[in-house]
Amino acid sequence: MKKNKSYKPEWTPENAGEEFAVKIVEGVEYQNQKQSVSEKAIKRKLLSVDEYVNGVLKFDRNILARTITLIESNNHQHQEIAQQVLKNLLPYSGKSLRIGITGIPGAGKSTLIESFGLFLLNQGHKVAVLTVDPSSTVTKGSILGDKTRMENLSKENNCFIRPSPSGGTLGGVTRKSRETITVCEAAGFDIILIETVGVGQSEVTVRSMVDFFLLVLIAGGGDELQGIKRGIMELVDAILINKADGDNEKKANISKADYENALHYLQPATKGWKPKVLTTSALTGKGIPELWNTIKEFEKLSKESGVFEQRRKAQLVEWVHRIIEDSIIDEFYSNENVKKSIRKIEDEIIKGKITPTLAAENLLKLFKAKD
Ligand SMILES: Nc1nc2c(ncn2[C@@H]2O[C@H](COP(=O)(O)OP(=O)(O)OP(=O)(O)O)[C@@H](O)[C@H]2O)c(=O)[nH]1
Ligand SMILES: [Mg+2]
């Protein structure tokens, strides 16, 4: 691939090189470099809490990007400032529609976001796109694919695209993503699109931060082939059979009927809403207006019934519990006593000298012991 006319998105740290360009030679590893460069970028010039807050509220894209970088930093001092900034932004947040998009790799999620995002901008909306990919530190490069696939969208002033925060646990990624949603909403984005990969725990996590959850599939793959578990189908408000173009259109309609049938037997994810199955072509834009109509209908119904508000409240409470769980787990595994003994105790379990329950009790005793 040629590096013709590459440009850098605004989340790029100031001194970053070509590895942050939108058009880029595939396979460049940049994850570690990104982290260290952005840490330096924050250190070089920390703004005051007011400067961050006012910048975000004034829709200053540069400050918006820097605020998110601050949130994503694991540095203790940055975290303290970030929390104050968030506290001030909180009253201005919450007014968006949050849409989660999941699906098998290659189903066309990013392409869909590009065409759906442009459609929404045309309707006068402001769109923020976030990705949650806890595996991105391992797989690398998936974000590069996203950036090239959302090329037109990323040039739009009323759109803001932020890749998954790098590094850390799913818990860490989740916290950062939720806080990033808060900041984007305070900046005035009224539609938040969150893309996640269709593997492991990330769907459940994204479901817990969005109002509407969409599963993107392709025709004729068969459930096993598409790696879609029944559990995921129970989380969704709509299924989209994408790539319904050319020869595929017929197959897509057959799949649509199959999934409609399958959904019929499942518990709906949102009380009072029967999950819909739609077909689209992210490439041609066919089916996009219908997707938006479905989402608007969902919003109207769930707001009228109070389910929308109830879910938002439940999500906030759940968020607090997640933070507590994560921080206790963190504290446990970084405890010196635990660190000293854990390998030995694990070894004893493997050799059958001790039961798992006893092993856990011993470790917890060590954790609670005053040194
Ligand atoms: N024919 C056709 N091809 C599509 C459509 N949508 C996406 N594609 C193609 O499918 C490939 C994968 O698209 P992506 O948008 O990257 O898929 P994704 O689901 O975001 O992939 P990951 O992020 O890697 O999981 C690309 O080559 C797209 O051009 C569509 O509606 N029709
Ligand atoms: Mg993608």
CATH code, 344 = 1.10.287.130
CA distance 322 to 312: 15
Ligand 1 pocket by Cβ (under 6 Å): 103, 105-111, 142, 145, 149, 197, 242-243, 245, 281-283
CA distance 17 to 8: 9
CA angle 6, 10, 15 (to 5 degrees): 75
pLDDT value, residue 370? 74
260-263 long-range Cβ contacts below 8 angstroms, 24+ apart? 262/233, 263/233, 263/239
Pocket test for ligand 1, best of 102, 104, 110, 281 (most atoms within 8 A of CB): 110
CA distance 179 to 184: 9
Do 87 and 108 fall within a single domain? no
Do 206 and 76 fall within a single domain? no
Instruction: Determine the distance separating the centroid of ligand 1 and the alpha carbon of 111, expressed in angstroms.
Output: 5
pLDDT value, residue 166? 67
Nearest CA to ligand 1 atom 25: 105
Do 88 and 104 fall within a single domain? no
pLDDT of 127-136, one tens digit each?
Answer: 999 988 766 5
Ligand nearest to the CA of 106: 1
Nearest CA to ligand 1 atom 8: 108
Q: Residue 203 belongs to what domain range? A: 93-304
Do 277 and 337 fall within a single domain? no
Do 100 and 232 fall within a single domain? yes
Nearest CA to ligand 1 atom 7: 108
CATH number of the domain that 16 lies in? 1.20.5.170
109-122 helix and 142-149 helix, angle to the nearest 10 degrees: 40
pLDDT of 302-323, one tens digit each?
Answer: 999 999 999 999 999 998 998 8
pLDDT of 61-105, one tens digit each?
Answer: 999 999 999 999 888 899 999 999 999 999 999 999 999 999 888
Do 244 and 103 fall within a single domain? yes
pTM of the model: 0.83
